[in-house]
Amino acid sequence: MKKICLVVAIVALGNLAASATDINFSLDTFCDTFQLTLTGTPKVYLDGVHTTCPGLPNVLVGGFLHTIPGMGAVLDLSDPTWGYTEQLPYGWEFITNADTRQPCVWASYLNYPGTTNVLFDSGTCTYFTDVDARPNVSSLRPAFKGPTVN
């Protein structure tokens, strides 16, 4: 009986790992990168790390995969730590296309709880396979500085 339970546990863990999909991208004009894992059955849950510029903290992000009419499948990420650490009354949300075979595009929104979302910035991004293949973005500014602040 113990052997059967062990085999079932190993198979379950193997299926869990096999069901995860890594999606990594960097924002082309900023130093921000995202290393995400898409999990679940069906795959709809996102978790990962928003890596900001050197000298700034890396933060945990979470979200889900859903569909937007006219755009298709998107990754919808929340970065609640940013608003908290900057002592701001809102969180930060990122939306990017989920099909890594298509060009990577993104938009970020400021999320005012209980009221509205406001478009903050948007642009293109670059997918990468692992941290070693991540583009060198150290000379770029962080996305939270906004589209017009230098």
Per-residue pLDDT tens digits for 93-106: 899 998 888 999 99
Res 104: pLDDT: 92
Q: Which of 76-80, 109-113, 125-129 has the lowest mean pLDDT?
A: 109-113
Q: Amino acid identity, residue 78?
A: S
* pTM for the model: 0.75
CATH code for the domain defined by 21-143: 2.40.128
Domain ranges in the chain are 21-143
User: Which position has the token pair 């293109």?
Assistant: 124
Segment 66-73 shows an average pLDDT of: 88
Res 76: pLDDT: 92
- DSSP assignment of 133-146 equals G----TTSPPGGG-
Q: If we measure between CA atoms, which residue out of 91, 114, 94, 113 comes closest to residue 104? A: 94
Q: How far is residue 76 from each of residues 57, 59, 95, measured CA to CA in Å?
A: 21, 16, 5
Res 117: pLDDT: 80
Radius of gyration of the chain (CA): 17
Q: Distance between CA 90 and CA 109 in Å, rounded? A: 10
Q: Distance between CA 67 and CA 97 in Å, rounded? A: 10
Helix (H) / strand (E) element for 107: namely strand 104-112
Average pLDDT, the chain: 77
Instruction: Give 147 or 100, the one with higher predicted confidence.
Output: 100
